[in-house]
Amino acid sequence: EAGVTQSPTHLIKTRGQQATLRCSPISGHTSVYWYQQALGLGLQFLLWYDEGEERNRGNFPPRFSGRQFPNYSSELNVNALELEDSALYLCASILTLQGSTEAFFGQGTRLTVV
Amino acid sequence: GDSVTQMEGPVTLSEEAFLTINCTYTATGYPSLFWYVQYPGEGLQLLLKATKADDKGSNKGFEATYRKETTSFHLEKGSVQVSDSAVYFCALRLTGRRALTFGSGTRLQVQP
């Protein structure tokens, strides 16, 4: 069974540009979470999509947005990139089975803004 | 709000040394607690978890006990190996919610 896949692995953009990051959850998982892992700041919750809808978002400006497609894959879009957006962006899919919830993470997309 | 505090790294140990990585939390309600590990170039993997007070999670020689009285979930291993070098994240999840709240991560470097 394939795990959570993210693309691209690395992305280099210039300040002011837009970045699009993609995530495919594990087959059968309907929830996708996005996290930002900035250097020295740990993991910060960005967005949660479930069944095609945005369910919750973290403390990030509106230029961070995304969507979830009918096949449950997801895109994260970052507009008007700033240097401090440079980070590893991790996607996780969540499975709840018999009351136990597990999170499975992709390898991440490393975004560098220059 | 809910939060997780971990000891700052990096933690540098010699092979076969004893490891403790401290983790304390603040939460409304009764969270489940987790340790995730991130090896170089990889995503996060669940290492162990505990869902209620006094539970002990264990995996790959690592252990952590859910201490409600001290709101802690310290990670321990009796004898670390070079292959344990990674970043370790403590996390919590409130009952009925699926989002995880993570600590800042602690980098462990094990030297031969």
Q: Cα separation of B14 and B31, whole Å?
A: 34
Q: Cα separation of B112 and B109, whole Å?
A: 10
Residue A99 has pLDDT above 70, yes or no: no
Residue A40 has pLDDT above 80, yes or no: no
Please list, in sequence order, all residues whose beta carbon lies within 8 angstroms of the beta carbon of residue B21, skipping any fewer than 6 positions away. Answer: B6, B7, B11, B74, B75, B76, B88, B90, B106, B108
Q: Cα separation of B95 and A59, whole Å?
A: 22
Sort out which chain A residues have CB atoms less than 8 A from B99's CB and list them: 33, 45, 48, 56
Residue B43: both structure tokens together: 């995503």
| Strand pairing report for B62-65 and B56-59 | antiparallel
Q: How confident is the model at residue B100 (pLDDT cuts 50, 70, 90)?
A: confident
Sort out which chain A residues have CB atoms less than 8 A from B101's CB and list them: 45
Q: What is the nearest CA distance from A43 to chain B, expressed in angstroms?
A: 6
Do the Cβ atoms of B100 and A96 come within 8 Å?
no
Q: Cα separation of A48 and B63, whole Å?
A: 30
What is the residue whose two structure tokens read 């896949």?
A5
Over residues A19-40, mean pLDDT: 90
Residue A97 has pLDDT above 90, yes or no: no
Q: How confident is the model at residue B30 (pLDDT cuts 50, 70, 90)?
A: confident
Please list, in sequence order, all residues whose beta carbon lies within 8 angstroms of the beta carbon of residue B69, skipping any fewer than 6 positions away. Answer: none
Q: Identify the closest residue of chain A to B48 by CA–CA distance.
A: A102
Of B42, B89, B103, which is closest to A107 when you measure between CB atoms? B42
Residue B34 has pLDDT above 60, yes or no: yes
Q: Identify the closest residue of chain A to B107 by CA–CA distance.
A: A40
Q: Cα separation of B79 and B88, whole Å?
A: 16
Please name the amino acid found at residue B86. A
Q: Which of A27-41, A69-83, B21-35 has the lowest mean pLDDT?
A: A27-41
- What's the pLDDT score for residue B104? 87
Sort out which chain A residues have CB atoms less than 8 A from B100's CB and list them: 33, 45, 92, 103
Contact residues, chain A to chain B, C-beta under 8 Å = 3-4, 31, 33, 35, 37, 40-43, 45, 48, 56, 90, 92, 94, 96, 101-103, 105-108
Q: Among residues of chain A, what percentage have pLDDT more than 70?
A: 92
Of A31, A42, A48, which is closest to B105 when you measure between CB atoms? A42
Write out pLDDT tens, residues B49-94: 999 999 999 999 999 999 999 999 999 999 999 999 999 999 998 8
Question: What values do phi and psi take at B78, rounded to 5?
Answer: -70, -30
